[in-house]
């Protein structure tokens, strides 16, 4: 255990007395920490994140400190961000984009990404950031499911990934290109022309707290990706979790390393730091241990929110990594997205003098639900305790769709959360049935298996389904299998997560070929290349094995679990539904 002495912490953590805060907390009080739109016109995320600071003493404070790949830098103060987002909202209006329509953003971590997300919210549109490393297929599918009306991207990404799928997307009326001059017409616009020249003033449309604001895609074991709907009221949770779980204080320089194409990069890379009025670092470049250390040191980062894969990659450099560096500004480190090994928590303590604080949440919950807090002792390997305002339980699903509670300590079950917090998803877009299935009465069922110890600390055990967490990215096996099946040589495909010491799980595929195709090295390379082209490197399998047949249940479902057990040399479990043993 890593014991904490809260009295020695400066500034004093926002959440100092956990039990008292839990007893006294209410979401109404949390709501009162925000402003609401002037003249009682509702609640809008962009007002809370940007405009209210731009109208007050923080107007000239740097909101986003952008550090480009080639060393370029750009600071955006709250006032500048206010004006830039106004311009984007005006540009949408000029294009007749209506409230509620979906504005997708597909680009690396450029300042325009942040402006587009917040500006879309001002215009009453729904913002949906996509991961720029996705290949054309995941992009097309998400734009189609989400009824994408506008896409903001770069000319390079457009040419490589979108141009060829544009015909499949008749609803996509406008593509705004950020970057060098581009051919126009056919719904293509140049950011410099349509956004930079727009008016600096914009009055945010009246917004109901329950209006749809963000659409984040996530994957299940089967079927298409799901678009989780979040509403403007979610900002109440972003704000208060930023205070309690990340301990954001007025003067902090905060760095969330996640990409906004995943929910952490939006909730905590854009919204929570801005609504708390701090300065946020935006690094365009990808991971590099030495460069990250430079950023922590040179930018005087005080709060750092990162992910286990990155931490494990840094751990390879030993505890000397930070030696000789002035990291005196750094006072709190947190991690999310995958299980954080106890060794990583302790390594944080050894290398940086402070431990990593693991926390847990998911796309559907919209914000941090379970966390290690600054003032509480850490049990390395545990994801911590529920946020004030969050009631977490461990349940067992019953045949009739109901659940029974597991009250005993250290017994595994599914993590369930009592519904009713502001950033809870309000639905999966166009998928009422899938949404309904996530609930048993008042309880939202998370799909994660956990246990709780006698001190009310929660411990992650595993997923209840077959989704894969690779380098912190949630990958649906079905999407990968479908892409492999599109190759003419493939008869069947099954995809599993194979444990990997650095990236958590690696995507591995098992393929059976159609007659006339040879399972040789050339075919393996061909299929790996095909999958990378369709899906993008972050999602495509890293390994492919050939099988004559894949094991199936009597009802014809491929048994991924059995393939995984065999791959790892684990017990094969209950094989009563196996059609035949087709090793």
Which residues contact ligand AMP (rule: CB under 6 A)?
Answer: 218, 263, 336-339, 358-360, 362-363, 383, 446, 448, 460, 463, 469, 474
- Whichever of 48 and 466 has its CB closer to ligand AMP, that residue is 466
CB of 121 to ligand AMP, least distance (A): 21
CB of 462 to ligand AMP, least distance (A): 8
CB of 363 to ligand AMP, least distance (A): 3
CB of 317 to ligand AMP, least distance (A): 23
**CA neighbor of 463 nearest in space, from 221, 222, 225:** 221
Task: Tell me how far apart the alpha carbons of residues 77 and 429 are, in angstroms, rounded to a whole number.
Answer: 35
Decide if 64 contacts 111 (C-beta within 8 A): yes
Decide if 364 contacts 448 (C-beta within 8 A): no
- Whichever of 475 and 559 has its CB closer to ligand AMP, that residue is 475
List of residues 6+ apart from 57 with CB closer than 8 A:
none
Is the link from the previous residue into 11 a cis peptide, with omega within 30 of 0? yes
- Whichever of 138 and 551 has its CB closer to ligand AMP, that residue is 138
CB of 308 to ligand AMP, least distance (A): 8
Decide if 161 contacts 143 (C-beta within 8 A): no
- Whichever of 118 and 425 has its CB closer to ligand AMP, that residue is 425
* SS3 state at 16: coil
- Whichever of 241 and 446 has its CB closer to ligand AMP, that residue is 446
- Whichever of 119 and 367 has its CB closer to ligand AMP, that residue is 367
- Whichever of 101 and 338 has its CB closer to ligand AMP, that residue is 338
Q: What is the helix (H) or strand (E) element at residue 253, kind and residue range?
A: strand 253-256
CB of 315 to ligand AMP, least distance (A): 17
- Whichever of 313 and 461 has its CB closer to ligand AMP, that residue is 461
CB of 289 to ligand AMP, least distance (A): 22
Task: Tell me how far apart the alpha carbons of residues 412 and 406 are, in angstroms, rounded to a whole number.
Answer: 8
Q: Is the dihedral of CA 79, 301, 15, 270 positive or negative?
A: positive
List of residues 6+ apart from 296 with CB closer than 8 A:
255, 304, 325, 327, 330
List of residues 6+ apart from 525 with CB closer than 8 A:
none
CB of 26 to ligand AMP, least distance (A): 26
Q: What is the DSSP string of 21-81?
A: HHHH--HHHHHTTS--SGGG-B--HHIIIIIHHHTSTTTTSEEEEEE-TTS-EEEEEHHHH
């Amino acid at each position: 255990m890593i014991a904490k002495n809260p009295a020695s912490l400066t500034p004093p953590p926002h959440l100092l007395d956990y039990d008292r805060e839990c007893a006294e907390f209410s979401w109404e009080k949390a709501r009162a920490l925000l402003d609401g739109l002037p003249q009682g016109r509702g609640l809008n995320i962009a007002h809370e994140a940007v405009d209210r600071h731009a109208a007050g003493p923080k107007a000239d404070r740097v909101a986003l400190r952008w550090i480009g790949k080639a060393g370029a830098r750009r600071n955006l103060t709250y006032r500048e961000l206010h004006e830039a987002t106004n311009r984007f909202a005006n540009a949408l209006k000029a294009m007749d984009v209506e409230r509620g329509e979906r504005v997708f953003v597909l680009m690396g971590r450029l300042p325009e990404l942040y402006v587009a997300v917040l500006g879309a919210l001002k215009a009453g549109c729904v913002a949906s950031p996509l991961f720029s490393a996705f290949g054309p297929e995941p992009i097309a599918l998400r734009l189609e499911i989400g009824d994408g009306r506008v896409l903001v991207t770069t000319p390079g990404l457009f040419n490589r990934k979108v141009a060829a799928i544009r015909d499949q997307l008749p609803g996509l009326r406008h593509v705004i290109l950020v970057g060098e001059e581009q051919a126009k017409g056919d719904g293509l616009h140049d950011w410099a022309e349509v956004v930079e020249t727009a008016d600096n003033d914009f009055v945010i449309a009246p917004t109901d707290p329950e209006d749809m604001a963000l659409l984040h895609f996530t994957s299940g074991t089967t079927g298409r990706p799901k678009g989780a709907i979040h509403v403007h009221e979610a900002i109440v949770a972003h704000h208060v979790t930023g205070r309690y779980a990340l301990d954001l204080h007025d003067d902090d320089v905060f760095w969330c390393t996640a990409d906004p194409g995943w929910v952490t990069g939006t909730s905590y890379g854009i919204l929570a730091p801005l609504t708390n009025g701090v300065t946020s670092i935006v690094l365009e470049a990808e991971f590099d241990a030495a460069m990250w250390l430079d950023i922590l040191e040179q930018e005087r980062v005080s709060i750092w929110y990162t992910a286990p894969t990155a931490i494990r990659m840094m751990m390879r450099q030993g505890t000397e990594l930070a030696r000789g560096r002035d990291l005196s500004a750094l006072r709190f480190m947190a991690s999310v997205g995958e299980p954080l090994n106890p060794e990583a928590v302790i390594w944080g303590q050894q290398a940086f003098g402070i431990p990593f604080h693991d926390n847990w949440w998911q796309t559907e919950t919209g914000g941090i639900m379970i966390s290690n807090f600054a003032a509480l002792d850490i049990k390395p390997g545990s994801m911590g305790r529920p946020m004030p305002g969050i009631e977490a339980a461990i349940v067992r699903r019953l045949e009739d769709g109901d659940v029974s509670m597991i009250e005993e300590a250290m017994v595994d079950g599914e993590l369930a959360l009592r519904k009713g917090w502001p950033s809870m998803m309000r639905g999966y877009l166009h998928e009422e049935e899938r949404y309904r299935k996530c609930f048993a009465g008042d309880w939202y069922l998370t799909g994660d298996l956990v246990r709780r110890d006698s001190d009310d600390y929660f411990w992650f055990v595993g997923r209840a389904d077959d989704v894969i967490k690779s380098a912190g990215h949630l990958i649906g096996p079905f999407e990968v299998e479908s892409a492999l099946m599109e190759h003419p040589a493939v008869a069947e495909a099954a995809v599993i997560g194979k444990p990997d010491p650095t990236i958590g799980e690696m995507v591995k595929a098992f393929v059976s070929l159609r007659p006339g195709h040879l399972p040789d090295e050339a075919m393996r390379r061909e299929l790996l290349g095909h999958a990378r082209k369709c899906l993008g490197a972050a999602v495509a399998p890293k390994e492919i094995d050939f099988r004559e047949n894949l094991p199936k249940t009597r009802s014809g479902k491929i048994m991924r679990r059995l393939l995984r057990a065999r791959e790892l040399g684990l017990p094969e479990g209950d094989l009563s539904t196996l059609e035949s043993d087709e090793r």
